[in-house]
Amino acid sequence: MANWLFNLPVFWMTLVIFLGTFLVSFIIYLTVTRLAVGERAAGFRALTPGLLSPLGVIFGLLVAFTAAQVWDDYGRAEIAVANEASALRSVVLLAKGFPGEPETRLRTLINRHIEAAVGEEWPEMARQQKSLKDLPVDLVEALKAALALPAADESQKTIQREIISALEKALDARRQRIILSHSTVTPIKWVTLLLQALAIQIAIGVVHSHSRLACAIGLSLFGTGIALSILLIAAYRNPFSGDLAVSPDLLQQVIATET
């Protein structure tokens, strides 16, 4: 599957996938119906319809396993972003325990981290180019600032520990979203899935070659199922790319609600 397809808006992705699937189905229909003459027709009729069930089960299992992977990655990516936003929001709230310059510095660093995440990291994650080697400079600085907070009493020491813990959670959540940004459906999975779909379509065409109407209906119905399966997997194949990508809205809300 080409990256240009995955980067299309959902509407155009749907259109391309359905057109491609039905084009293949039509070619199979024309080929089978033209070959189903004479001795070949008798050979086609000898092929038992029971063959379709195991082929369909294998295709269904391939779709289920692949879809489970992409949806699980998508869900984990949403959780990672939510955890990062929650941790950063906690830092902003806890920083009020150190009014003045320490609070202002922590807020500024958190804001800068979020702005960098939205403006720089998200586009890089969409292209699967973001690396763990790229340290979140502002978040690291916020952690250093938290470690150096002037805790005057036990209450502020407790707040300091909570701020440090929240920043560590934010760093871990950021690592998780970057790791998940590299998740994808590998070429071998796509090839296996598509070849299995092609095998079933050919089998349907051959089994129903004695009736053009039955052949057309069978190929159309199963072609629709194939197109929908491919669309669902393609639309969610990477959590941070495409129209359905996980957005940084929760992180941006931290800035909007910090006062």
Q: 57-98: per-residue pLDDT in tens?
A: 999 999 999 999 999 999 999 999 999 999 999 999 999 999
Region class of 186: left (phi > 0), else alpha (psi between -120 and 50), else beta: beta
What is the percentage of the chain residues whose pLDDT exceeds 70?
A: 98
Task: Report pLDDT for 242.
Answer: 84
Give the pTM: 0.85
Q: 213: pLDDT confidence band, cut at 50, 70 and 90?
A: very high
**103, amino acid identity:** E
Q: What's the per-residue H, E or C state across the chain?
A: CCHHHHCCCHHHHHHHHHHHHHHHHHHHHHHHHHHCCHHHHHHHHCCCHHHHHHHHHHHHHHHHHHHHHHHHHHHHHHHHHHHHHHHHHHHHHHHHHCCCHHHHHHHHHHHHHHHHHHHHHHHHHHCCCCCCCCCCHHHHHHHHHHHCCCCCCHHHHHHHHHHHHHHHHHHHHHHHHHHHCCCCCCHHHHHHHHHHHHHHHHHHHHHCCCCHHHHHHHHHHHHHHHHHHHHHHHHCCCCCCCCCCCCCHHHHHHHHCCC
What mean pLDDT do residues 115-128 have? Answer: 92
- Whole-angstrom Cα Rg for the chain: 27
Task: Report pLDDT for 105.
Answer: 93
Task: Report pLDDT for 1.
Answer: 47
Rounded Cα gap, residues 52 and 20, in angstroms: 22
